A = this chain, B = another copy of it.
Amino acid sequence: MIDNPFYSHEFHGDYELISIGKLDLEEGGSIPDCHLAVATFGTLNDAKDNAIFVSTWYSGTHQIWRDVYIGPDHALNPEKYFIVVIDQIGSGLSTSPHNADGPNASIAMSKFPKVRIGDDVVAQERLLREHFGIETLQLVTGGSMGAQQTYEWAVRFPDKVLRAAPIAGTAQNTPHDFLYTKALIEAITSDPGWNGGEYTSNADVVDGLTRHAGIWAVMGFSTEFWKQEVWRALEFESKEAFLAGFLEPYFTAMDPNDLLAMAWKWQRGDVARHTGGDLAAALDRITAKTFVLPINEDMFFPVRDHVAEQELIKGSELRVIDDVLGHLGLFGVAPTYIGQVDQHLKDLLDTKV
């Protein structure tokens, strides 16, 4: 258990910690008392059929969804829908290596078990059903690792997911993505301060976390983002100032083991685990109306990787988002970004299923 002030209501606003009890894991072992951080927007109707579920990406939480994607002016409209965002296991808000204590003390820090995308989705489904009584979802969406979770939902629980909108992420993680994530992992674990996962503060690992931010700079944004100096729109005066003032503090505030737990999970996202490795068969299970939303400048979830999967999903549509930021366009920094997402999600929600 590490005290890290970043994972708090001060930085993440309103959310509720809800226990779903013991969670047995695909890789073996369990989380004795799995807590999920849950943020809701809007009101669940009496029929309990107006729910939308959102899952989170690597390093992200419900906060960015609240600030950028959800609101009365957005497709994710809390005046119409009951929107539930659940922070993934390892996010630092839900049960994670750095915050495991009490009944979870046995899995703290380096002892945290391997958690898969499938474990997340099982936990999320249980929470939605047992805590809210939700059995069907009008829409499941998420970006990056949230897209991996969206696909996992649509394949694992096809009867519960009416519509799906994976953004900038794939159903089966690619080998290139695996290697990219490996480089991120090694940037952290190579820091002697990481100490096999038994540091006493994330500050012990600041060098590794800073290098990790540096690799994100190379792959998270597009080559054109840097060439066009798009960071000037964020009122930085140089790329070095942008790194030192934005990307580095973003990651150095976080917990190394939590990032590593998510990275391991990201590397192994794969819906074909349900069908003996047959990706086409897995995606053919999907009955949700699906819009696949890549970002055209994404360096590591490129459009063509989305197309290859979208073509295997019955009745699906490819909707490409134009954003020079690349993958981290997900942050919604470009003024033209969220309007595109809203239009696609609105079209999807307006589609009768």
Which residues of A pack against B, CB within 8 Å? Answer: 174-176, 178-180, 182-183, 186-187, 190-192, 207-208, 211, 214-215, 217-219, 221-227, 229, 239, 299-300, 302, 304-305
Q: Is the CB of B302 within 8 A of A223?
A: yes
Q: Closest CB-CB distance, A205 to chain B, in whole Å?
A: 12
Bound complex: CA A30 to CA B319 (Å): 57
Q: Chain B residues near A190: list those with CB within 8 A.
A: 190-191, 207-208, 211
Q: Is the CB of A227 within 8 A of B305?
A: yes
Bound complex: CA A299 to CA B178 (Å): 16
Q: Closest CB-CB distance, A280 to chain B, in whole Å?
A: 15
Q: Is the CB of B218 within 8 A of A180?
A: yes
Known: A183-B214, A187-B211, A223-B302. 12 other contacts (CB 8 A): A174-B223, A175-B226, A176-B223, A178-B239, A179-B239, A186-B211, A190-B190, A190-B208, A190-B211, A219-B219, A224-B304, A227-B305
Q: Is the CB of A215 within 8 A of B183?
A: yes
Given A190-B207, A223-B300, A299-B299, A214-B179 contact (CB < 8 Å): yes
Given A192-B192, A227-B305, A218-B175 contact (CB < 8 Å): no
A contact patch SS: helix
Q: Is the CB of B183 within 8 A of A218?
A: yes
Which of B191, B208, B239 has a CB less than 8 Å from the CB of A175?
B239
Residue of B whose beta carbon sits closest to that of A302: B223
- 22 cross-chain CB contacts under 8 A: A174-B227, A175-B226, A176-B218, A176-B221, A176-B225, A178-B239, A179-B214, A179-B217, A179-B226, A182-B214, A183-B215, A186-B211, A187-B187, A187-B211, A190-B190, A190-B191, A190-B207, A192-B192, A219-B219, A223-B302, A223-B305, A299-B299
Pairs A-B, 4 closest by C-beta atoms: A175-B226, A176-B223, A176-B226, A180-B218
Q: Chain B residues near A304: list those with CB within 8 A.
A: 224
Q: Chain B residues near A300: list those with CB within 8 A.
A: 223
Q: Chain B residues near A229: list those with CB within 8 A.
A: 175
Q: Chain B residues near A192: list those with CB within 8 A.
A: 192
Which of B214, B217, B219, B224 has a CB less than 8 Å from the CB of A218?
B219
Q: Chain B residues near A183: list those with CB within 8 A.
A: 211, 214-215, 217-218
Q: Chain B residues near A218: list those with CB within 8 A.
A: 176, 179-180, 183, 219
Q: Closest CB-CB distance, A42 to chain B, in whole Å?
A: 38
Q: Chain B residues near A214: list those with CB within 8 A.
A: 179, 182-183, 186
Q: Closest CB-CB distance, A71 to chain B, in whole Å?
A: 34
Bound complex: CA A221 to CA B187 (Å): 20
